[in-house]
Amino acid sequence: MRAILRRIEVSYPDYLREPVSILTPGDLQLGAPGADFERFREDVRRGIEKGSYFIIPGDLVDIASPSNRRAIAGAGLYDSVLLALEQYAEEARLMIREVLEPAKDRILAILSGHHFWQYSDGTTTDTRLAKDLNVPFLGFTGALRLEFVDKERKIEVPFDIYITHGDGSGRLPWSPLQRLHSIANYFIADLYLIGHHHKRAAVPLHRMSVRWYRRNGKMQGVLVELPVHLVGTGGYLKGYIENDPPWQPTYIEAKMLPPAALGCSEILIRIVEDDKGVYACTSAVV
């Protein structure tokens, strides 16, 4: 697990009026049947157009799952076969890089997941993508502190995000949130994100805190209510495909699971200034 700090410059009074937008395009699994690459491209384009930031929660390329990689490693395949698989993975990675390249200065972090390709030099499709775009790579789980900086007024406002690619499964829309809820009991953050489940789900929690400040030489405590959100980041893998060969159903179809709500989540973070101070909190999840 890595912890990183990203600083975002904001201008007064604009940041008090307009929330900061973060999109979470991940779980594309390009290479698998049903990967909706065009929807992924459109969501990134839309985010660039509106000035959003991005967090990529992993599983962008689906060439091999963990069990597939173990099987390939032990199969004793010819170099020519491994090279063909590597070239296929590289083609998928380059397609994704082309989409993300215009947004690289606004990508806060890239995570890994279960699905990626490991090259012969030990790098993976995820680590190469992060290096090419000069974006921090968090691995499977990470802690991201955003620091909103108003240079003119010399104000720095922190906002902490817990991010994991995630694990497990569940049929219900709120399944990923159950896992995040347990994490929220002992990992303190302002926002919790989980991928893997291909579900765009969100639920607010509220935390009470006491904020201390000095007035007329005396320390005073103010009770502050801070909204905290648990968020499933979504995905782009179709569960049901028109004209799919009946002898080769998708995993979703075979398991009789509900279709995924395709797309990513959008988190809106607002900076608040009142008699309790200046602080950042999640105002909405779209």
Q: Tens of pLDDT along 47-64?
A: 999 999 999 999 999 876
Name the CATH superfamily housing domain 2-285: Metallo-dependent phosphatases (3.60.21.10)
For residue 31, pLDDT beyond 70: yes
- Show Cβ contacts of residue 114 under 8 Å, excluding neighbours closer than 6 positions: 58, 59, 65, 66, 165, 196
26: nearest Cα among 175, 236, 204: 236
C-beta of residue 37 within 8 angstroms of C-beta of residue 17? no
- Sequence spans of domains, the chain: 2-285
Q: What pLDDT score does 285 carry?
A: 87
Query: Is pLDDT at 141 greater than 90 in this prediction?
Result: yes
Position 111 pLDDT exceeds 80: yes
Mean pLDDT (whole number) for 258-275: 89
**Cα-based angle 115, 117, 120 (whole degrees, multiple of 5):** 155
Q: What is the mean pLDDT of the segment spanning 173-201?
A: 91
User: Quick one: pLDDT at residue 110?
Assistant: 98
Q: Give the whole-number percent of the chain exceeding pLDDT 90.
A: 55
Mean pLDDT of 194-202: 93
**Of residues 51 and 243, more confidently modeled:** 51
Q: What is the pLDDT of residue 253?
A: 83
**Distance (Å, whole) CA 3 – CA 278:** 24
Reference 192, options 158, 229, 165, 145; nearest CA is 229
